[in-house]
Amino acid sequence: MDNHRATVEYRTLKSNLVNLPSNLVNLLFTANIQVQDVIVEICPKDNQQQKQQQRYYAGWSGMSSSIVQSVEIDPVFAQALQIRDKSSVVINLKLGNYETSNINLEPLTSSDWEVVELNAQLIEDKLLNQTRCVAMNQILVVYPSSTTSAKLVVTDIGTTSHKFAKISPYCEIAIAPKVRKKKETVTETKSVASLKSNGKKMEDYSGTALLLKRGVCLPHNLYRDANKLDTGFKIFIDLDQLPKDTFDTFAAIAVVPGPNEYKNTLDKEVVEGGGGKDVKENRRIIAELVDYKGGSGNIGLSQDLAIALNIQGQIGNIIALRPAIKSLSKRPSTFVIHPYTIHSNKKKEINQTKTLKSAQMLKDALYPQIADTAITNFVKIRAIPGVLPYGGLVKFRSNDNYNAWIKPYDLEKKKPIRIELADELFRPQSFVIQEINNKQDYTSDKSIDETPIGINETIDDIVDSFLVSENTGTLVYGSSGSGKSLYLKQIGNRLNEEYGYFVKHISCESLMNENYQNLSKNHVFKWLQQCSWNQPSLLVLDNIDKIMNVETENMDATKSNQTTEYFISQLTKLHNQKNSNVSILCSAVSKESVNKLILGSHLIENYIHINAPDKALRYKILEGNLVNNLGCEISMDLMDLVSETEGYLPNDLKILSHRIYHQCLADSDSMEKQDKEEEEEKEKEKEEDSNNSNSNYHHHHHHVVSEEHVDKALSGYTPSSLRGVKLQKSGTSWSDIGGLTDAKKILLETLEWPTKYAPIFANCPLRLRSGILLYGYPGCGKTLLASAIAGQCGLNFISIKGPEILNKYIGASEQSVRELFERAQAAKPCILFFDEFDSIAPKRGHDSTGVTDRVVNQMLTQMDGAEGLDGVYVLAATSRPDLIDSALLRPGRLDKSVICDMPNFEDRLDILKSITTKMDLEENVDLDEIAKKTAGFSGADMQGLAYNAYLKAVHVRLDALEKEENSESAKEDESSVEFFKVGNEKESKMKSSERVKLLHQIQQFLNNEKSNRAKETTNDSGKKKVEQPKMLITQENFIDSLRETKPSISQSEKTKLRRIYSQFVDGRDGNMPDGSASNEIGGRTTLM
């Protein structure tokens, strides 16, 4: 594949790769040759040059050129190789090339070396992506960003037998620094623009020693002892770490710009500082070196120095230290102060008298700060209230040298320097600082109102895991409102304030609508770059499942998978670097909501689950919120409120505390109004005693929490765990159920005692009973008992019917069961009640569709599986316990089977008393006699008997009322009205029109009279209370009802059920079905 002629076409590719002609691309694809195996040899054909035999080597991009018979190459790369546009070249394709694993490079110029220093991480990441091959003494061009590039010369390819080689994916690349002689020649040409008028060259920092350290801005806990000495421009460093005989008392301090940060070059500032309209701040400040043992290898920057470098309150910046050059032999006579302003449209009119007054005030405030510290020309100074509200810039008069500085001087021995105010400099509000905040801050908002209660041990363990292991990860998960964000902020605070970690806090919820390109390039990439530059660092991703969520059926997971893969690849690259220490701390609703790729990448090693707080922790949270945060006094037993808040999350408890506080405020306002009214009355009666009455005014200003406040706050409030959960509320109370004494006792022991006597049951070494089967005759109170026990024990109640679970599609029924138990777990403590349980969980192997078999399998796993139940009690009711699968009846699932038997005489009497408590009975009603005559009646039959008796009484009452109305209507006669006309005309007949007019007038008169009578009757009735007649039930009503009511269960059915129940209790052999198909005629088998 040699001797292919082509024309060079410049095209911006930002790489050392080329696009080949389409005919060669088709040839390579047909031969099934990999893109990375092709090396393109380019031979320029220019007769005017002597170097006709010069050959250059480049990789193939895998793309074809847009113009036929042309090869496309990046213009910067082509110019470095001296290949002109539109020139003719010969292309040779090299296959089966030597693969090198070691490459040595050298920057072409000192400027290229500076680019390599500032973008070392980016060049390491992008060099292998932009280059496929190398050749000896050939220039490579690396593009760390879209606007910068660096030229590197290949000095060694790991072999002398080959002129070119293919780069291995695991190749080690070493870049040697450019020698100092070449740097001196470059800087010498640059310094020509900075000559003084007398011809002397300014002294600069070219060729001086350089030391890079990680900076921590004061105040900080790593420099507790240095906080007292935090005045002026100072660097707190262990002097033993400095090279010997290199640094003196003072050093030049500058901040190395990190990735994606603006690069402030001092050469540009030197040129613009003197003649430009706008004065630039000096980015290299002279500071005094103070010996400080400690700091964990970092250096401490005083507040004034951090303000001058515009990095106040930051941690992790790379600080460049150089030995300070000579200070000015003659100190300047005047300091020119340029105040900062944030108002761009403000007119720069300076009042002379006002300027002199401000200068004097500035002199008095500024001299104590600069008397004992070094001052650099064009240095930024902190704000001075009343004088420099936004800070300012200090410049030496008649000196535009940015490297000029003066040593500290004594005001008593030397004449004070004059101070003048010059034009204001406009700066953005983010650049200026109005006051010094002594509290250390990191990149996120640390305004935390919440005080951690009861979680310090967990936070200590997580912090220790980050300190012990580098490049680790932790996932904190729990339901919404459980305090995940508080965990993350507290952990970030601890690592930032006590150990000097750089913490980057990201709220992923605000980025969930970003597309993949923007999310990966503009966010994830910059996060990791910043953390890598400022390490040791911690990347905090709050709600990571918002951008790296798990794949679901109804949602496209392409963006989530791409983002997760990109995040994993970039973070893994950081971890593979030498001395890397970048850890991540994430939060999510659950482990299942996070993308499986990141969970399987081993980037997250620790998983912390935040459960709902127990009683002791809820007591601490409520006490902390009410007493410590809101300043309330508690007059009740707080444990009563703790018992009412079972299942509440910390955020729910916080909201509830505020609701209680607002109730106290409302009551205190009303009490204050009453006090004021009483005082006003006393002042009117006795003006002389007004002073004594004022002494009792503030008695009600203490907010005292009472049970009434708690009840009002709890009413109408639903905690977050119960929102969206359908809970059934029953109006049945424990007293409405008659009989069933044994069943009530067992239910109370199982459900009420563990909640009421929690400390006793907490010490139980065995698993508590959590499942009960209620079985018995139809109508004997199984469902009624289940609905009443929830209200009696104060538990949430969820009732389930068969059709809500069963579904013919495979997997749908099991999903319904899982979601059902998740609902109950969210609403714990909760009772899960299955009515007609035999229709939901029958014996396996008897269903032709296999639906109930799968439901039984899922219920077995949920009730006593690996996860277990916590705070969820299962209550099942059935009339046919023999039809239920035997695996569900063993201990650990439905632990106890309770029979609801047919009521005996005492039970029937108790049932009648419970039913008739809400009825009005005559004194002659004998309930004992009725109970004796209702042998064989179930509880439902007894209730029907009482209701039928009530209906009998209603019929009797209605018949009596009807007879009374008929008798009264017979006595009433129709009222007649006679009228006559008085006139002079005798025996004159009236016309029809006149008669109608006269009748109309008489009708109006009669209507007015009726309305007046109606008003009088209503006024009389309003004065008298109308008493509703009572519906009295007599013995005869019960006897009549008893004649019509018969038992709902026949004798044969009762006998059959009695036999089934006796076999269920005594006759079970415990053998499990063998699962074999039935051989009987008409027998059914499952379709599993």
**Is the pLDDT at 581 greater than 90, yes or no?**
yes
**Is the pLDDT at 190 greater than 70, yes or no?**
no
- According to DSSP, the residues that pair with 21 across neighbouring strands are none
Say which residue, 750 or 38, is predicted with more confidence. Answer: 38
Query: Do both 744 and 717 map to the same domain?
Result: no
Say which residue, 46 or 289, is predicted with more confidence. Answer: 289
**Is the pLDDT at 740 greater than 80, yes or no?**
yes
Angstrom distance (rounded) from CA 432 to CA 445: 19
Q: Which of 44, 56, 22, 48 is nearest to 89 (CA)?
A: 44
Q: Which three-class secondary structure state does DSSP give residue 207?
A: coil
CATH code of the domain covering residue 498:
3.40.50.300
Say which residue, 766 or 896, is predicted with more confidence. Answer: 896
Residue 1082 banded pLDDT, cuts 50, 70, 90 = low
686 in a structural domain: no
CATH code of the domain covering residue 390:
2.40.40.20
The total number of structural domains in the chain stands at: 6
Residue 425 banded pLDDT, cuts 50, 70, 90 = confident
**Is the pLDDT at 997 greater than 80, yes or no?**
no
Q: Contact 400/273 with Cβ under 8 angstroms?
A: yes
Q: Which amino acid is it at 1061?
A: Y
Per-residue pLDDT tens digits for 142-167: 998 888 889 999 988 888 888 899 98
Query: Do both 480 and 539 map to the same domain?
Result: yes
Q: Which amino acid is it at 509?
A: E
Residue 48 banded pLDDT, cuts 50, 70, 90 = very low
Range of the domain at 641: 612-666+703-723
Q: Contact 846/1084 with Cβ under 8 angstroms?
A: yes
1066 in a structural domain: no
Query: Do both 745 and 877 map to the same domain?
Result: yes
pLDDT at residue 1025, rounded to an integer: 46
Three-state SS annotation for 180-196: HHHHHHHHHHHHHHHEC
Query: Do both 896 and 920 map to the same domain?
Result: no
Say which residue, 416 or 277, is predicted with more confidence. Answer: 416
**Is the pLDDT at 781 greater than 60, yes or no?**
yes
The chain-wide mean pLDDT, for the chain, equals 79
Query: Do both 950 and 852 map to the same domain?
Result: no
Angstrom distance (rounded) from CA 128 to CA 132: 7
Residue 854 DSSP one-character state: H
For 394-412, what is the mean pLDDT?
82
755 in a structural domain: yes
Query: Do both 475 and 409 map to the same domain?
Result: no
441 in a structural domain: no
Q: Contact 737/914 with Cβ under 8 angstroms?
A: yes
Query: Do both 349 and 461 map to the same domain?
Result: no
CATH code of the domain covering residue 1047:
1.10.8.60
Q: Cα 113 to chain center, whole Å?
A: 44
Per-residue pLDDT tens digits for 925-976: 888 888 888 888 888 888 888 888 888 888 888 888 888 777 766 555 445 5
691 in a structural domain: no
**Is the pLDDT at 273 greater than 60, yes or no?**
no
pLDDT at residue 269, rounded to an integer: 38
362 in a structural domain: yes
**The domain boundary residue, chosen from 588, 609, 630:** 609
Angstrom distance (rounded) from CA 843 to CA 854: 11
Query: Do both 305 and 321 map to the same domain?
Result: yes
Q: Quickly count helices (H) and strands (E) in the chain.
A: 32, 38
Q: Which three-class secondary structure state does DSSP give residue 882?
A: helix
Question: Cα separations (Å) of 1 from 37, 67, 602, 974?
Answer: 14, 20, 46, 127
Say which residue, 103 or 700, is predicted with more confidence. Answer: 103
pLDDT at residue 433, rounded to an integer: 65
Query: Do both 80 and 39 map to the same domain?
Result: yes
The two structure tokens encoding residue 400 = 């535009």
**Is the pLDDT at 263 greater than 60, yes or no?**
no
pLDDT at residue 831, rounded to an integer: 85
Q: How many CA atoms, within 13 angstroms, populate the side-chain half-sphere of residue 714?
A: 14
Residue 594 DSSP one-character state: B
Phi, psi of 396 (to 5 degrees): -80, 135
**Is the pLDDT at 248 greater than 90, yes or no?**
no
The two structure tokens encoding residue 51 = 């170097």
Low-confidence winner among 106-120, 488-502, 858-872 (lowest mean pLDDT): 858-872
Q: Contact 1061/1049 with Cβ under 8 angstroms?
A: no
1022 in a structural domain: no
Angstrom distance (rounded) from CA 828 to CA 844: 30
Query: Do both 569 and 647 map to the same domain?
Result: no
For 714-735, what is the mean pLDDT?
71
- Please spell the DSSP secondary structure of 996-1057, one letter per residue: HHHHHHHHHHHHHHHHHHHHHHHHHHHHSPPPPPP-EE-HHHHHHHHHH---SS-HHHHHHH
Say which residue, 977 or 917, is predicted with more confidence. Answer: 917
Query: Do both 744 and 621 map to the same domain?
Result: no
**Is the pLDDT at 652 greater than 60, yes or no?**
yes
54 sits in which H/E element: none
Q: Contact 75/82 with Cβ under 8 angstroms?
A: no
Say which residue, 279 or 484, is predicted with more confidence. Answer: 484
**The domain boundary residue, chosen from 851, 872, 901:** 901
1001 in a structural domain: no
CATH code of the domain covering residue 123:
3.10.330.10
Low-confidence winner among 559-568, 622-631, 775-784 (lowest mean pLDDT): 622-631
**Is the pLDDT at 691 greater than 50, yes or no?**
no
Query: Do both 492 and 579 map to the same domain?
Result: yes
